Structures are given as C-alpha cells and as structure tokens.
Structure 1
Amino acid sequence: MVHHGAGLRRLTKDEELVEQLKQDYRNAPISDADRAMLDYAIKLTLEPWNMDKREVENLRGYNFDDAAILDINQITGYYNFVNRLADGLGVELEDYWDE
C-alpha cells in the first residue's frame, strides 16, 4: 500500500497532507465531504456487513450523487480486492515506487 501514498504525494505535492491522511484522515485538513467519503470507504472495508442505506443517505447529504456514490463504492471494493490478492500472494513493491 506504500505505492498509494507515493502516488498521492506526486499528485498533491503536499507531504504533510499525505502524512496526516496516513496517520488519521479524521484529523487531516480535508473537506467534510471528503471525510464523509473516507468514513464510508473505511466502513465498507472493515464492516461491509454493517452497511445500509443510511451510509448512502449520509453521502447524499454531502451532495454526492448516485454516480459519485457508485464510484466510491466500486473503487473501494476494487482496491480491497486487489490489495487482498497482493497481500495473500506476498507481492512486493516494485523498485520504481521507491523513487
């Protein structure tokens, strides 16, 4: 998962923000909508059996439309899937991610 942080560093050019997100996104200087999106992704990752329409309605309260909610859901699910495959196979990071 280190390479996700590296990509975010390149995208934002904000090392401090990336570190804050890494430590605890709830204390990072992000919008309430971004925090709600991450809350949704965390719950979907850690407690998928506890998800219900309240989580979707909460995102709608932050002006996420159905397409955005679907994107959040699918991207979260995809990365959970891929990371579990990589972790389960012991896949290691390619050298270029260290650059």
Structure 2
Amino acid sequence: MFWINHISYEEADATLKKIYNRVKGPENNIDNILMVHSLRPHTLKGHMALYKNVLHNTNNTLPTWYLEALGVYVSFLNQCDYCVDHHFEGLQKLWKDDEKSANFYKALQENSLQSFFEKKWFKGFAYANMLTLNPRKLSQNDTSHLRDIGFSDGEILEINQVVSYFNYANRTVLGLGVNTEGDLLGLSPNNSDDPDNWTHQ
C-alpha cells in the first residue's frame, strides 16, 4: 500500500478516528494518500485543509472541471499514476461525457492539449507546465500573459495554488510509495463554502 507504517480506520485512536470520520468515504474507506499521514495526524489535517480550499471551495471562480483537469495534467507531468487515476476519474464525473474524457486523455498522452482546449484554457496549462517543470524560468510576463488573455488575478492565484497543491500531493505519493490498492477512485469533497466539510463522496 505504501512504504511506511500506517494506522487503519479500525486501529485508529480517538484523535485520529475523529479526523478519519471527516474524510472517509463509503464503508469507512480512507484514501491512501490521506492514510499515509496517519502517524502524524496534524499533517493530514493540513493536507485536507489545503486540498479542500484550493480545489473544492465555492469561492473559487474557475470551474471545478478546469481545476481538476489541471491536477490531472500536473500529475501526468510528474508521472504520478495515483493522482492521475483518482483525478481523471473525478474529471469524468464532472464532465459526464465519455468521448470528451477520452479525447482529453489522448491529448494528454500525445502532448496535444493545445488542440483540445480553447486558447484561454490552454494558456493556464502552459503556465502549469512551467511551474511544475521549470519554475525558475517563470517571470512576471507569464502572469501578465494570463491576465491579458482573460484570467483575473484571483483566477491566476487559483491556478497557481492548484498546480502547487498537486506538486505537493504528487511528491507525497511518489516519495512514500502510495498506490491505489483498496481505494475508491474519484471520491472528493463537495464544493462548498464550508472549509471544514471534508466528507468524500
């Protein structure tokens, strides 16, 4: 499941179980990316607070499908199959369009997202690529280009935070050998303005 010891839902003490009860899915399922934090529950709380607020908060103005697609892309760049599998499943649930989902995945593999997305959306992906693979090469011009093409400064921040979060999550997964064994793919918190609502559905 992963390369370090962990504490299951059934074995959790009262403190950890209280957190698990906030993030669990059906049949007390805890995503492995969250369970890997079980020896340090405070880091699980930090992970979930970041995840919920950057990706599933109604105060975001970019569509959730776009943020999820960015997450899949960043995870693909980092060769993090765990996060690609989870978030591509979530993206398919949002799109409810098998053909569109398949075409996106094909474009991802063929490095042809420019032909899949309209120019504005693709520019956000180009920024995500740079921030993930060559962050030192970014300059103020890159955010200016995003602004010029129609993103507000708040939306640029949303893109930056989602890309940064997925780089963090990918490194958690890859650095600790997390896999999808026992996971229910595609579960996520509902979008809400309650940052403490972490229930996975």
What TM-score do the two structures reach when normalised by structure 1? Answer: 0.87
**How much is the aligned-residue C-alpha RMSD, in angstroms?**
1.6
CA-CA distance at 1:15 after TM superposition: 2.4
3-state SS of 1:91 partner: coil
User: Percent identical across equivalent pairs?
Assistant: 33
Aligned to 1:60: 147
Q: In structure 2, what is the equivalent of residue 40 of structure 1? A: 127
- CA 1:21–1:43: 2 relative to 1, 3 Å: farther
Q: Which moved more, 1:12-21 or 1:60-69?
A: 12-21
Q: Is 2:173 the counterpart of 1:90?
A: no
> Is the alpha carbon distance of 1:9 and 1:37 closer, same or farther for their aligned partners in structure 2, counting shifts above 3 Å?
same
Alpha-carbon separation, structure 2, partners of 1:14 and 1:38 = 21
Which aligned segments of 4 or more residues in structure 1 are displaced greater than 3 angstroms?
Answer: none
Contact 1:20–1:27 (8 Å) recurs in 2: no
- Count of aligned positions: 97
Q: Which has the higher contact order (CA 8 A, sep 6+)?
A: 2
Supply the distance in 2 between the matched residues of 1:47 and 1:16 (Cα, whole angstroms). 32
- AA of the residue aligned to 1:13: K
Q: Pick the structure with greater CA Rg.
A: 2
What's the offset of the Cα at 1:14?
2.0
Query: Structure 2 counterpart of 1:76, which letter?
Result: V
| Structure with the higher fraction of residues in helix conformation | 1
Letter in 2 for 1:64: F
Q: Which amino acid aligns with 1:22?
A: Y
